[in-house]
Amino acid sequence: MNLSAGIQSIPLSDGNQIPLLGLGTYGDPRTTPKGSALECVKLAIDVGYRHFDGALVYFNEHEVGQAIREKIADGSVKREDIFYCGKLWNTFHPPELVRPALERTLKTLKLDYVDLYIMELPMAFKPGKEFYPKYKDGKYIYHHTDLCATWEALEACKDAGLVKSLGVSNFNRRQLELLLNKPGLKHKPVSNQVECHPYFTQPKLLEYCRQNGIVMVGFCPLGSSRDSSWVNLKSPPLLEDKLLVSIGRKYNKSSAQVALRFNVQRGVVVIPKSFTRERIKHNFQVVYPCYGNVCVA
C-alpha cells in the first residue's frame, strides 16, 4: 500500500471514509483517573487525530464527547472532520434494544450521530441493567441472539440518520457470511474490528474481508493487553520482540512504530490506545509524519 503524505484515510464500501489511524479510548475504569479521556482526546485532536474509537461500556464516552465538542467550539475542528466509532454491547442484541442503546451513546456523547457503529461481539449477554451479568458461581449469563435480526435493527438506525456506517467486531468468516448472505440485506458491514498485530496477523480473515469490501480495523495493534486474567504474562511483550526492535533500530523508529506501520501498509486501520501524551504523538507519526512544527522522515 502506497502511503504518501497525502493519504490519510481509506474508502468504505458505502462511500464514506475511515482514517487509517485512530485513538483507542478504553481505559480500565478501576485504575484510569477521571478526566484522562477528556484531556487525551483534546490533545489528540491538537496533534492531528480525527478518528476516535469508543464504547458505552468504556464508561468514559461522556469525556470523549466533551473533548470533541470543546474542540469544535474553539474552532479546531468541525463535526464532519471527526470520525467516531461507537459499539453495540452484548446486552442490547434484541432488536427492540438496539436503537435505545445507540441513542444512549448519542446522549452521552451529546452528538447527533456517530460515524461508525459496530456490533461489538457476535454473542449476547442477558439483557438488563448489568453489562456483565453473572450467575452466583461467577459464570456469565449468555442470551440467545439472532445476528440477522440485530443487524436489521442497526440498518434501521442508519436509515434514521443516527449513524453513517455500520460494522462488526470479532466476527469470523462464517459470521460475516451470515450477514452478507442475509435475504433483504440493505447495508453490508463496512468494517470488522479484530485483534491484529505482528504476532496475530489474521491473513485469511484479512483476505476474505478484502474480497468482500470490508475494511479490517485492528485493535491491540501493539500486542494483546497485559491483563493477567487472559494473557500469559510469562510471554514476552510484543514491543520487546527482537526482530521489531532491530527493524526499528535500522530505520530509527521504535518497535511500536514498526508494529503500527506493519498493519497500516497492509491497509489495516489501527486504533492504538494511550493516555500518555508522548505516546499519542509518537503513534501519530506512523501515518502522518508531520504535526505542528515537527516532522519525521
Dump strand ranges (E) for the chain: 9-11, 17-19, 23-24, 51-53, 83-88, 114-119, 124-125, 142-143, 163-169, 191-195, 215-219, 269-270, 290-291, 294-295
How many C-beta neighbours within 10 Å does residue 154 have? 26
The string over 244-262, giving b where at least 16 C-beta atoms fall within 10 Å of a residue's C-beta and e elsewhere, is: beebbeeeebbbbbbbbbb
58 has catalytic annotation: yes
**Do residues 265 and 286 make contact, with C-beta atoms less than 8 angstroms apart?**
no
- Grid coordinates belonging to 120: 461489538
Question: Distance between CA atoms of 128 and 92, rounded to whole angstroms?
Answer: 8
The one catalytic residue in 58, 84, 117, 288 is 58
Q: Which cell numbers in the block locate residue 55?
A: 464504547
Query: Using CA atoms, how far apart are residues 254 and 250, in angstroms rounded to an integer?
Result: 10
- Which grid coordinates are listed for 135? 450467575
Rounded Cα–Cα distance for residues 93 and 27 (Å): 24
Q: Check whether 282 is labelled as a binding-site residue.
A: no
Residue list, annotated binding site for substrate: 143
Catalytic residue IDs: 58
Residue list, annotated binding site: 143
